């Protein structure tokens, strides 16, 4: 590999890790606000409540289970996929340990909303490294391809399932869950446009 290629890969790895670090902050802020969280995070939180594992470690467990489901779908993970599966949960635990306590609803709401925006920005940032999709995105895209169904239908099915299971295990479903669901797609689209990530 040429030195130029090494520098390019090293830069992309730096972007990937930094993007995941920032993503962990966004997730931690939405969890810390205690106003409801994204469907997959509800699932991880439910596992955390039932097992006593930290939220971050539970997130890693969920990612590992999702990656196992890639095998029959014949989806190949990239460096970014593995990094995503391992690091986001660990970074989220780090941020959760240092975020300040909040006492009023409006403070918590502000933290939640900023967290959602940070998640969207970080998504565009780490995807711009072009080192592999996240575990959940790969699962949903692989399933959509295998079943020849629209991506939105598969995503709705998966997220509805994990949201229900997470809620049954004690994961928090509140107004924040709805806010996240309604806003994250548009915000990620803006982020991907900002980082000049091509569609498809």
- Per-residue pLDDT at 137: 84
Whether 139 and 16 have beta carbons less than 8 Å apart is answered as: no
CA 199 → CA 25, 42, 112, 156, distances in Å? 26, 28, 28, 20
Nearest to 96 by CA among 158, 40, 33: 33
Whether 49 and 170 have beta carbons less than 8 Å apart is answered as: yes
Whether 36 and 172 have beta carbons less than 8 Å apart is answered as: yes
- Per-residue pLDDT at 102: 86
Q: How many helices (H) and strands (E) does the chain have?
A: 8, 0
What are the residue ranges spanned by the domains of the chain?
Answer: 3-194
Distance, first Cα to last Cα, the chain:
28
Nearest to 80 by CA among 143, 1, 19, 151: 19
Contacts of 98 (CB under 8 A, 6+ apart): none
CA 109 → CA 43, 102, 186, 200, distances in Å? 21, 10, 19, 33
Whether 38 and 110 have beta carbons less than 8 Å apart is answered as: no
- Per-residue pLDDT at 103: 83
pLDDT < 70 stretches in the chain: 1-7, 199-200
- Per-residue pLDDT at 54: 97
Residue with tokens 């949960």: 89
């Amino acid at each position: 590999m040429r030195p130029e290629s090494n520098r390019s890969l090293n830069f992309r790895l730096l972007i990937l890790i930094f993007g995941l670090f920032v993503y962990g902050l966004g997730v931690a802020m939405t969890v810390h606000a205690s106003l409801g969280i994204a469907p997959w995070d509800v699932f991880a939180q439910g596992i955390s409540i039932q097992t006593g594992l930290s939220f971050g470690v539970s997130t890693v467990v969920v990612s590992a289970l999702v990656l196992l489901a890639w095998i029959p779908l014949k989806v190949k993970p990239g460096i970014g996929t593995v990094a995503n599966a391992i690091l986001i949960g660990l970074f989220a635990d780090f941020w959760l340990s240092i975020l300040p306590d909040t006492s009023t609803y409006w403070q918590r709401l502000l933290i939640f909303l900023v967290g959602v925006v940070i998640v969207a920005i970080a998504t565009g940032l780490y995807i711009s490294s072009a080192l592999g999709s996240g575990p959940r995105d790969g699962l949903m895209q692989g399933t959509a391809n295998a079943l020849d169904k629209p991506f939105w239908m598969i995503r709705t099915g998966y997220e509805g399932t994990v949201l229900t299971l997470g809620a049954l295990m004690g994961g928090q479903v509140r107004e924040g869950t709805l806010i996240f669901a309604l806003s994250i797609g548009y915000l990620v689209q803006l982020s991907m446009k900002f980082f000049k990530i091509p569609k498809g």
